[in-house]
Structure formats: C-alpha cells, structure tokens
A and B are shown apart, each in its own frame.
Chain A
Amino acid sequence: MNKSLNAMVELKGTDHVFECSPGDTLLAAGLRAGLGLPYECNVGACGCCKVELVEGEVEELYPEAPGLTPRDRRKKKVLACQCRPVSGVTIKASPQDEFAPRIKPLKKAMTFLGKRSLGTDLDEFTFQSDSTADFLPGQYALFDIAGVEGVRAYSMSNLPNDQGLWQFIIKRVDGGSCTGVLFDDLEPGSTVELDGPFGTAFLKQGTYRDVICIAAGSGLAPMLSVARGFIDADDTCDNQLHFVLGMRHLSDIHLDEVVVKELDTSSNVITEVTLSNKEAASSIGWQGSVGYVQDVIREKVAAKIHDCEIYLAGPAEMINDTVRMLVLDMKVDVGRVHYDRFF
C-alpha cells in the first residue's frame, strides 16, 4: 500500500466510515472524525479501546500490550490506540456519545516557554501554540518527543485560553526517558509535538452539585485544572469543591504555590492535604491529616458523598482502590465518578 495515502476504516453494521492518515492510530483517526470510540489511557494498558478486526491488516505498535487478554486475541480483538491500518480495514466497534470529542483532537507544534519548580522533581511546564488553547478542564495531551519511543500522556493543569498557553505539571520519573528529556534537555524556544485534547474525565458543567477532587502524585495537574474550572464557572457559586490531595512527604509539592496562593483564597473551595508517611509527618510536627486519600474521604466527606460529582487522578492503583471504596462500599452511583487511568 502507498504509505502516503489515507486508509479507509469502516464500522461493520453501520454507515460510519472514516479516513486514517498515515502515522495515525485507529483511535485517533476515529476521534478526529467525530466518532465516539471508547478509550481511556491511550497507551495500550487499560483495554477500553478494544475493537474487533473483521477485515484488513493493521500494524500493532505494542504487540504485548497488557490491555488485551488471551481471550481477546482469540477473538481477533485489537487495541484501537495501538493500531495503524496497513490497508483499508473493517472493524466492529460500539461508538458512544460519551466519547465523541467535544473539541477535535489535533496534532500541533508547540514552543516550550519554560518551567518552574512546584515540588521535589515536580515542575510546571508551559508551552505555547500558535492558536487558542482549546480543551476542557481535566483533559490531557499526548507528547511525541524526538528520541523517545512511544507517546506520553500528560494532563493540562491550566484552563483553556486565548493566548495559546498549555501548562502541565510533570514529575520526573527515575530513569524515565521522556521526563529525562523534558527536565534536562528541553530549552526554551524549542518545539515539541502535542496531540490533543483527549480524555472524558473533564469538569462536567451544569450539574449544580458539590465537587470532590481527589489527587495524588501526577494527578495534581488535571485536578488543579478541574478546580480552576470550577472556581471560574458561572454555575458553581452555590456549590463547594473539596480538594483532597495525597502526598508522601510535605516537600513533594510546594503547598504555598498550589494550595495557599490559589485554592485557599476561593471561598467555595475546601482543601484537605494528607501525608501518607506518618513518621515523616510527625517528625516535622504536621498537624494535618495523615493517611491516604481514601481515609480523608471516609472521615470528612462521607456524609455528602451521594450528592457530589467526584473526580480522581493519580496512580492507577490509587484510583482503582478509591473507586472500589466509593462504588462498591459506599454505593456511589458510577455515573458520578470520573477518572482517566494511566498505567
């Protein structure tokens, strides 16, 4: 097949047909065409984007992807986020409104403006695109960095804006190839390719309910964006937002920058910071909560939990444990709980 031509993708049993440009995955192409193909992590781990390959050939970017079970492979399932069509293909998939992008994801070149420290190995990176920055609070973008294999998902921490500014709060990963480049090699003025926005765990408008944001680790960025969006919105003045932030050590995040300067100044935001390393917390005379975010939820907001929209972000195990507590133990309606898991 001529690699410079677009491949046609048909959805069996429907009228849906879309084009997939060379280098694009089935998922990205479908979403760009406005089709609500289900997905979550975009990197082959969660399995939410699996579709059945009925006809045609695809190139699998990640053949051992954990998102596919042996049973899936027997049934000719592939992960739409990890496949590129090699020929015209027919797939079986079930698009849903929930996943139809509100803002079309696009690849764009961005200029790196600079970074500032927000904690231990934690920096806020700012990029500039040459058009308005369009995304919903809580969404993420895929970074394609020269020299780094595969893409990485990072959530925007700021709000959509006319200046074209995209901000991300990224934690350096020990030995990580991408964060190594971002922290050590990226110079202001250099260009990076981003693709987005993606994600369905964005701030829902018009719910008129209180909000709980639960953030741990890398989850700080999207939860900050959601909280900022809540503060900025017109329809939230009668509601409260509880920002529950879990850390290991107090030095992980500069609370004065993130919490005190901004969130604490808003009259309808209540912040709860909890430190999980109890010995370290007591050795510095910490007077706040100790333990995990789940403990804070049980102790501080259990009484109103059924009347809230709940957003979670952070390590996948934290999200899974907390969602199990919310949904299975506390019987919160699954429709009120929003998260994107990155494994």
Chain B
Amino acid sequence: MSFIKVCTLDDVWEGEMESFDVDGTSVLIVNLGEGNVQAVQSRCPHQDVDLADGEICDKVLTCKMHLWQFDVCSGKGVNPSHAKIAQYPVRIEGEDIYVQVEGVEEVHIHS
C-alpha cells in the first residue's frame, strides 16, 4: 500500500482546494490550514460534478451544481445527511502532500 506524491503545500494554499489525478483516481486536496490537509473524492456522489469547482468554508464543502454539502474531515454529508464522500489517507512530508488511493472506493449514487 503506497502513498503517492500529489502536489506541494504551495499548490494548494490555506483555505483552498484543487483536484488532481492520482493514479487514475480524481482526488480533491483541501488545505484547512495549520497543517490540516484532507483528501476526498473530487467527484460529487450526486452527479459527477467536480467538487473543486464548489466552495470550501471551514470544513464544509459545497458542490456548485445542487449545493450538496459534505464535512471533509469526516466524509459525512451535511445536506443531504445520508450522503458521503470517500476519504483518502494523507501524509505531509516537508512541503509535499502524499495520498493513498489504493483500497478506497469512490462513492456515487447507483441506479
């Protein structure tokens, strides 16, 4: 199980987020400040919209399309409460942000 380098702290400043392709998986890196960096799936589980195009405020991530909201620290849906997003383990070494995508399944609404 390996951690892959995704980007540096200079690529995603405090209070910002950006999506990156990590070994075929689209991962959203969210820098909440004070060394707290979260990594979650960048595809909204509702309709595949890129969550990087949405808003992040404190730890609440809002999707631009239908305003679904998630807590990036717990992966749980704020609205709707039944929603959730996959979380990926993060390691920071110096300025570098590493993420592990193996073994984690993205969440999306199935038909």
Q: Could you tell me which A residues sit within 8 Å of B by CB distance?
A: 36, 38, 46-48, 50, 69, 71-72, 94-98, 100, 323-324, 327-328, 331, 333-335
Which residues of B have CB within 8 Å of A335?
A: 80
Q: Is the CB of A334 within 8 A of B111?
A: no
Identify the stretch in B3-11, B45-53, B85-93, B95-103 within 8 Å (CB) of chain A at 4 or more residues.
Answer: B45-53
Q: Is the CB of B65 within 8 A of A334?
A: no
Q: Is the CB of B79 within 8 A of A331?
A: yes
Which residues of A have CB within 8 Å of B47?
A: 38, 48, 94, 96
Which residues of A have CB within 8 Å of B52?
A: 71
Beyond the given A327-B79, A328-B67, please list 13 additional residue pairs across the A-B interface where CB-CB is below 8 A: A36-B111, A38-B47, A46-B65, A47-B49, A47-B65, A48-B47, A48-B65, A72-B50, A96-B47, A96-B110, A333-B80, A334-B67, A334-B68
Give bound CA distance, A97 to B110, whole Å: 8
Which residues of B have CB within 8 Å of A327?
A: 67, 79
Q: Is the CB of A94 within 8 A of B80?
A: no
Q: How far is the CB of B103 from chain A (nearest CB, A)?
A: 19
Q: Per DSSP, are chain B's interface residues mostly helix, strand or loop, or mixed?
A: loop
Give bound CA distance, A48 to B49, whole Å: 8
Which residues of B have CB within 8 Å of A94?
A: 47-48, 108-109, 111
Give bound CA distance, A165 to B49, whole Å: 37
Which residues of B have CB within 8 Å of A333?
A: 79-81
Which residues of A have CB within 8 Å of B111?
A: 36, 94-97, 100
Instruction: Type the 1/0 row for B49-79, where 1 means its CB is closer than 8 Å to any CB of A.
Output: 1101100000000100111110000000001
Q: How far is the CB of A144 from chain B (nearest CB, A)?
A: 27
- Closest B residue to A77 by CB, please name it: B48
Q: How far is the CB of A30 from chain B (nearest CB, A)?
A: 12
Give bound CA distance, A94 to B65, whole Å: 16
Within 8 A of A (CB), among B1-49: 19, 47-49
What are 21 A-B residue pairs whose CB atoms fall within 8 Å in the complex?
A: A36-B111, A47-B65, A48-B49, A48-B65, A71-B52, A94-B111, A95-B111, A96-B47, A96-B109, A96-B110, A96-B111, A98-B109, A100-B111, A323-B67, A327-B67, A327-B79, A328-B62, A331-B79, A333-B79, A334-B66, A334-B79
Which residues of A have CB within 8 Å of B62?
A: 328
Which residues of B have CB within 8 Å of A38?
A: 47-48
- Closest B residue to A327 by CB, please name it: B67
Q: A36-B111, A94-B108, A323-B67 are in contact. Are A71 and B80 (CB under 8 A)?
A: no
Q: How far is the CB of B84 from chain A (nearest CB, A)?
A: 14
Give bound CA distance, A333 to B83, whole Å: 12
- Closest A residue to B81 by CB, please name it: A333
Q: How far is the CB of B19 from chain A (nearest CB, A)?
A: 8
Which residues of B have CB within 8 Å of A50?
A: 48
Give bound CA distance, A96 to B19, whole Å: 24
Q: Is the CB of A69 within 8 A of B48?
A: no
Give bound CA distance, A98 to B66, whole Å: 14
